[in-house]
Amino acid sequence: MVLAGFAVMVAAGVGSSLSAGSCRRSRRERMTARRQAPMNIASTEQGDTEDIPDDFYDLLGVSPNADKQTIKNRYHDLQKMCHPDVVGDDGAEMCILLNDAWELLSDEDERARYNNQIQLARKSEIITWGKPIVTDLSPTWKGKRKTLAHHSDYTGIPLSGSKWARVKEEDAGEKWAAQQFLFVDEWNCVCCRNCCDISPQTFCIQADNGRANVYMQWGNNEEYLDYAVASCPTECIHWVSREELQSLEYVTAEKMVDEKLALPCPMSYRQDVNQTAMNDPWADAAKLNAKVRQQQALVNNRGRALAAVGTWFSRIKQIFDDLPMQLRGAVFSKRPNKL
């Protein structure tokens, strides 16, 4: 894009305005022109050690907080030194890059977006969960069996096991087809052992806290599992989705560790309405899911920012690599220190 700023250079004797089409030539053409065109600026050895600019601000030698006029002045200064009318075709690609830098930084909205990309790409305080969060919601999975002695980071894998894929056709029903799973709200369990008696390959009583727990999903057929749910005296067993299961099991295990297994008696709680509210794993799971979504959005946004900033940097590096060392040293080693 030909910018209005070029009129200033024309008036200053830099030459006619430069279009992107006139600047872009093949690498062979540029190399040929480089051998033929005279170098109109003095050489310097400083260019040998000059670092490649990280971004457009570094390219222009201005601070990210520089005002528009400062950026414009530096843009004009560099264009005058790199313009093909001054240095020949060696400066053509750099002129186009400087055009793009000025076009972006002179637009308030584009500059704000660019600044956000740079900041996000360099952001280091992103929360991590220890291991990548699994997004596969298939009805079978591999993972450690939940224990209260050891509590690991959230991975998106349920803490119970799964035999969903091993259920025989005659033992499966609507809940199996819908890929539903069982979760025990251990704060409301009264340890009646009813579920363990009905479906012993699915439920167990944990030695650590004395509450019922699902250790193996679909260890029994659907009829027995449905009966265990229906016959629970405190209605603490629930059919949930695969996605609900992983977060509910995690926040339950986390709370168990935080509370050091000091769980209130469910029967005493029901008889005394003035007691502190019972733990709500559903609310805790909702908070966890919101945190995971927020973190994932941050990771995704940072990935896009890294890609965008990386694309600009790759282009800057490529053009700098193509610059003759004399031109690079004479022009860019003289950049001011972040005006």
d(CA 300, CA 22): 38
d(CA 147, CA 157): 14
Ranges of the chain whose pLDDT falls below 50: 1-28, 30-50, 274
The two tokens of residue 54 are 């990280």
pLDDT at 69: 95
For 221-240, the pLDDT digits (tens) are 999 999 999 999 989 999 99
Q: What are the φ/ψ torsions at residue 323 (nearest 5 degrees)?
A: -70, 140
d(CA 186, CA 285): 14
Residues 6+ positions from 38 with CB-CB distance below 8 Å: 88
pLDDT at 30: 43
Entry field: residues in the chain? 339
Helix (H, G, I), strand (E, B), or coil: what is residue 51?
Answer: coil
d(CA 154, CA 130): 8
User: What residue ranges do the domains of the chain occupy?
Assistant: 6-122+303-332, 161-279
For 247-259, the pLDDT digits (tens) are 999 999 888 887 7
d(CA 288, CA 248): 9
Question: 83: which DSSP letter?
Answer: -
Pick the CATH number of 6-122+303-332 from 1.10.287.110, 3.40.50.2300, 1.10.10.10, 1.10.3860.10: 1.10.287.110
pLDDT at 34: 37
d(CA 37, CA 26): 16
Q: Is the pTM of this model over 0.85?
A: no
As assigned by CATH, the class of the 161-279 domain is alpha beta
pLDDT at 83: 87
Q: One fold for both 6-122+303-332 and 161-279? A: no
- Of 301, 330, 335, 325, the residue nearest 54 (C-alpha): 335
Phi-psi category of residue 261: left, alpha or beta, with phi > 0 → left and psi -120 to 50 → alpha: left
Report strand pairing: 203-205 vs 212-214. Answer: antiparallel
pLDDT at 266: 63
- Residues pairing with 161 in the sheet: 216
